[in-house]
Amino acid sequence: MTDTTQDLTTSSTPEGGGDREGRSIFSLLRKAEIDTRLFGMIMALLVLWVGFHIMSGGTFLTPRNLWNLSVQTAAVAIMATGMVLVIVSRNIDLSVGSMLAVVGMGMALLQAEILPDLIGFDHWATWIIALAAGLVMGAVIGGFQGAIVAYVGVPSFIVTLGGLLVWRGVAWAMASGRTIAPMDSTFQLLGGGSRGTIGATWSWIVGIVACVAIIVGLVNRRRQRSKYGFTLRPKWAEVALGAFACLAVLGAVWVINSYPMPERLAMQYAEERGLVWPEEGLIIPLGIAIPVILALAVALAMNFIATRRRFGRYVFAIGGNPEAAELGGIKTRFTIVKTFALMGVLVALAAAVQTARLNAAVSGLGTLTELYVIAAAVIGGTSLAGGIGTIAGAVLGALVMQSLQSGMVLMGVDAPLQDIVVGVVLVIAVAIDTFYRRRAT
Amino acid sequence: MTQVMNDRTPLVQMRNMSVAFGGVHAVDDVTVDLYGGEVVALVGGNGAGKTTLIKTLSGAHPADSGEIYIDGKLASIDNPRDAKEYGIETIYQTLALAENIDAPANMFLGRELKTRWGTLDEAAMEDATRKVMGRLNPKFLNFKTPVNSLSGGQRQSVAIARTVHFNARILIMDEPTAALGPAETAQVAELIKQLKAEGIGIFLISHDIHDVFDLADRISVMLQGQLVGTVNKEDVTMDEVLGMIIIGKLPSEVTETELETLH
């Protein structure tokens, strides 16, 4: 590939607005083919974090708070990745909070009341059966709502608004409003309590595997594109991108691993392993929490589905132009059913995380969660008009929402004021996004 | 010419097609046919039923009654996928592009290429798109941007590229030049002649009577859902075809007084 062709293609991409060249950061980013929107979000998040750190008297950017933040973000992040696809396909799912309660209740009843009678209390298979049943429940409920949307033609807003009421009521009826507890001991690990982590060594392994995957991915993409002689990212950009991503991943692992077990737990841990408890105590890192691993795995899988699989392509095509998708021969209705079923599965995963974390299921679980999930997706750049959205954006959106909340808690902001701030930020974020989108086209 | 054609099996034969919307007969017992290497123009005023008729062939809309024969064999076309199986490609008036995805994604929409691992083979699709565009519109270079940032002519190229790449045997073009400038219109005309020479049968819907006379071999005229008649281009004048469109009668049946009202 010669330099001339490279120049040709770069200059031919229509970016509109002649002022672009002047702003060197943006032109640099574009040359490196880095998503400026995503970059902007990461920057905004960092500014938010530093701001909170200063205003909370140095308590925000601590391993302890960041570890908690990662665990608290997991459930909403898991659901937000599915909400992206639902919204991209020009639909909405208002029922996720209530579905969370129903599926959580179902899994809790199964492991606290039904399975102990059948296979005995704390049987090793309990958590697997409960989780599998929950995932099936989520898929069926989601798919059922999706089928009403796709085949009956009732707007998704209405179907899932009905679902919001129905499933909340069903969750109550399933246990007559009782609190169902306790959860199976293995199942509890999904919630990422102090035992639900993978430890320092495995955290490093996860970090290194992620690094290798990033590098392999970059190299692979480059090879694929050079096979056909397409323009490639400049080498420096490729190297810088890989290095930056790896540093970020390993840095995150380092921060997480800097958060040690609380003393009582560390003592227990030492005792179980026959270690001597020294006077000054032991510093044993918790490592990455299991729900965080789960959320990261979901984000990767969903990103893969959204960008590398036909299904994802079809969801975007439907969102861009439903008629064109239909004329292109896509089974649009079935695709819609699948997006809602997928949403249901992700809700079930989030329900497992939440009930495991609480070690109980209550019918009020997940109240108002739908709004946080939708807000996370929208702050992450998903357009409610359909057709536009990214998984990474939604995860970042979830992180922004959770950062706002925990930052304000650290600052001692009153609950009503917290809601006001979150609401205002949501509107401002979308306003900024709309502004830039309009300028870009 | 007609005599020669009738000896062969028509590529497409649509017999007694009818489509009704509520009580309105959008297409009423229409029979048309198309041979390989031939352009048949479908003309008529707004609401004459041209688009609805060809939608039954492209699988976009089911017919209430009537039969479609491809290569003389009864075909069942219930959706766009079926139509594509028969090698029927359509360029819709609206272009039917998903605005938020790029040109290769649109070209392969519904027929994506996959890698060994079942993932989308973006590079192969981009490569194929570049090749087709190299033939159709060498100035086209935006393979990575969503099509909503392209000009009308470039979008048209994407829609046409789709039909060319997938080797259509039967091509339906619904107002292919309505959104184009003169240079691009000439390009489309050139393409139609080229595809015709390759033996492809083309149904052309157009409002532009000059285009029709320039490109078509036969002209089928529709009025209020019914077929007025099909004529060979050589046998008629533009005025006679206009007469068919407006009065709804074959040239031989038109009376002097009716002709008077036209002028």
- State the DSSP H helix or E strand holding residue B30, giving kind and residue range, or none if neither: strand B24-34
Closest residue to B97, CB basis, from A316, A324, A329: A324
Which one, of A386, A381, A382, A368, lies nearest residue A422 by Cα? A368
Closest residue to A13, CB basis, from B60, B98, B142: B142
Q: In this complex, do A313 and B101 lie within 8 Å of one another by their Cβ atoms?
A: yes
Residue A440 has a pLDDT of 64
Which amino acid is residue A94, in one-letter code? Answer: L
Distance of CA A411 to the CA centre of its chain: 25
Contact B94/A at CB under 8 A? yes
Distance from the first to the final alpha carbon of chain A:
30
Contact B113/A at CB under 8 A? no
Domains of chain B (ranges; CATH) run: 2-87+168-262 (3.40.50.300), 99-166 (no CATH)
In A, minimum Cα distance to B143 occurs at A13
Which chain B residues contact residue A12 at CB under 8 A? 141-142
Cβ B19 vs Cβ B26: under 8 Å: yes
Q: Once rounded to an integer, what is the mean pLDDT over residues B54-62?
A: 94
Q: In this complex, do B141 and A316 lie within 8 Å of one another by their Cβ atoms?
A: no
Residue A421's region, left for phi above 0, alpha for psi from -120 to 50, else beta, is: alpha
Among A49-58, A322-331, B135-144, B166-175, the least confident range: B135-144
Cβ neighbours of residue B199 closer than 8 Å, sequence gap 6 or more: B36, B37
Contact A176/B at CB under 8 A? no
Mutate to test the interface with A, among B100, B119, B127 (most CBs of A within 10 A): B100
Which one, of A229, A350, A292, lies nearest residue A66 by Cα? A292
Q: Which tokens sit at B56?
A: 């039954």
Residue A23 has a pLDDT of 58
Which chain B residues contact residue A313 at CB under 8 A? 101, 105, 109, 112, 120
Domain with CATH 1.10.3470 in chain A: 35-196+289-440
Residue B6 has a pLDDT of 55
Distance from the first to the final alpha carbon of chain B:
32
Tell me what ipTM this predicted complex has.
0.89
**Alpha-carbon distance A134 to nearest alpha carbon in chain B (angstroms):** 28
Closest residue to A317, CB basis, from B58, B101, B141: B101
In A, minimum Cα distance to B121 occurs at A308
Q: In this complex, do A441 and B149 lie within 8 Å of one another by their Cβ atoms?
A: yes
B40: helix, strand or coil: strand
Bridge partners (DSSP) listed for residue B13: B33, B69
Contact B132/A at CB under 8 A? no
Residue B250 has a pLDDT of 84
Q: In this complex, do A388 and B118 lie within 8 Å of one another by their Cβ atoms?
A: no
**Alpha-carbon distance A265 to nearest alpha carbon in chain B (angstroms):** 45
Residue A134 has a pLDDT of 98
Above 90 in pLDDT, residue B186? Answer: no
Query: DSSP state, B10?
Result: P
**Alpha-carbon distance A441 to nearest alpha carbon in chain B (angstroms):** 7
Give the 3-state DSSP-derived string for chain A, with helices as H, strands as E and coil as C.
Answer: CCHHHHHHHHHHCCCCCHHHHHCHHHHHHHHCCCCHHHHHHHHHHHHHHHHHHHHCCCCCCCHHHHHHHHHHHHHHHHHHHHHHHHHHCCCCCCCHHHHHHHHHHHHHHHHHHHHHHHHCCCCCCHHHHHHHHHHHHHHHHHHHHHHHHHHHCCCHHHHHHHHHHHHHHHHHHHCCCCCECCCCCCHHHHHCCCCCECHHHHHHHHHHHHHHHHHHHHHHHHHHHHHCCCCCCCHHHHHHHHHHHHHHHHHHHHHHHCCECCHHHHHHHHHHCCCCCCCCCCCCECCCEHHHHHHHHHHHHHHHHHHHCHHHHHHHHHHHCHHHHHHCCCCHHHHHHHHHHHHHHHHHHHHHHHHHHHCCECCCCCCCHHHHHHHHHHHCCCCCCCCCCCHHHHHHHHHHHHHHHHHHHHHCCCHHHHHHHHHHHHHHHHHHHHHHHHHHC
Q: In this complex, do A387 and B109 lie within 8 Å of one another by their Cβ atoms?
A: no
Residue A329 has a pLDDT of 92
Residue B66's region, left for phi above 0, alpha for psi from -120 to 50, else beta, is: left
Which one, of B201, B212, B260, lies nearest residue B236 by Cα? B212
Chain segment A234-262, per-residue pLDDT in tens: 888 889 999 999 999 999 999 999 998 88
Which chain B residues contact residue A8 at CB under 8 A? 141
Among A16-30, A76-90, B1-15, B215-229, the least confident range: A16-30
Q: Would you give per-residue pLDDT tens digits along chain A (441 residues)? A: 333 333 333 333 343 334 444 456 777 777 667 778 888 889 999 999 999 999 999 999 999 999 999 999 999 999 999 999 999 999 999 999 999 999 999 999 999 999 999 988 888 999 999 999 999 999 999 999 999 999 999 999 999 999 999 999 999 999 999 999 999 999 999 999 878 999 999 999 999 999 999 999 899 888 888 888 887 888 888 899 999 999 999 999 999 999 988 888 888 888 888 888 887 778 889 999 999 999 999 999 999 999 999 999 999 999 999 999 999 999 999 999 999 999 999 999 999 999 999 999 999 999 999 999 999 999 999 999 999 999 999 999 999 999 999 999 999 999 899 989 989 988 998 888 888 777 765
Interface of B with A in 164-203 (CB under 8 A): none
Across the A:B interface, residue pairs with CB atoms under 8 Å apart total: 99
Above 50 in pLDDT, residue B2? Answer: no
Q: In this complex, do B98 and A325 lie within 8 Å of one another by their Cβ atoms?
A: yes
Instruction: Report d(CA A331, CA A311) in Å as an integer.
Output: 10
Interface of B with A in 51-80 (CB under 8 A): 58, 60, 79-80
Q: What is the CATH number assigned to the segment(s) A35-196+289-440? A: 1.10.3470
In B, minimum Cα distance to A305 occurs at B119
Which chain B residues contact residue A325 at CB under 8 A? 98, 109-110
Residue A6 has a pLDDT of 36
How crowded is residue A162: how many other Cβ atoms within 10 Å of its Cβ?
15
Closest residue to B99, CB basis, from A14, A321, A327: A321
Q: In this complex, do A321 and B98 lie within 8 Å of one another by their Cβ atoms?
A: yes
Distance of CA A287 to the CA centre of its chain: 19
Which one, of B72, B262, B23, B51, lies nearest residue B175 by Cα? B51
**Alpha-carbon distance B125 to nearest alpha carbon in chain A (angstroms):** 10
Closest residue to A313, CB basis, from B80, B84, B112: B112
What is the band of B263 on the pLDDT scale with cuts at 50, 70, 90? low
